[in-house]
Amino acid sequence: MSVLDPAIAARLKRTADGLVPAIAQQWDTGEVLMLGWMDDQALARTLSTGRATYWSRSRQEYWAKGDTSGHVQHVREVRLDCDGDTLLVKVDQVGVACHTGDRTCFDADQLEVHLDG
């Protein structure tokens, strides 16, 4: 069991249920792949193994991306935003990132933007 560095833990601003949103981004292209959730343990596992590990809010368990699908996220770097309330996980994505089979979770619906002026 990995333990999160106390200096990192002190900087995190978590939701009421102890989670921090983690945006997965393809490290070399900047493509946004997905949004997952991490608690201290998931972040510690991610940092210590080099594999993106998330907390499943629906299943109430940890999951390392790709354990069942083979679509692994090899972590290149992790950044904490200026407020300490969001993580950016830069990964080398193997295969697709979305459970629907799409490359990213943001391929499905593009919303129409109405610009004023």
Q: Supply the pLDDT for residue 4.
A: 95
- 1, pLDDT greater than 70: no
20-48 pLDDT tens trace: 999 999 999 999 999 999 999 999 999 99
Q: Which two tokens stand for residue 90?
A: 């830069």
Strand, coil or helix: 97:
coil
Q: Which domains does the chain have, with CATH numbers?
A: 6-93 (3.10.20.810)
Q: Supply the pLDDT for residue 61.
A: 95
Give the pLDDT band (50/70/90) at residue 16. very high
Give the pTM. 0.92
56-113 pLDDT tens trace: 999 999 999 999 899 999 999 999 999 999 999 999 999 999 989 999 999 878 888 9
Bridge partner list, 62: 55
Identify whether the C-beta of residue 33 lies closer than 8 Å to the C-beta of residue 72: no
Q: Supply the pLDDT for residue 117.
A: 65
The pairing of beta strand 87-93 with beta strand 61-64 = unpaired
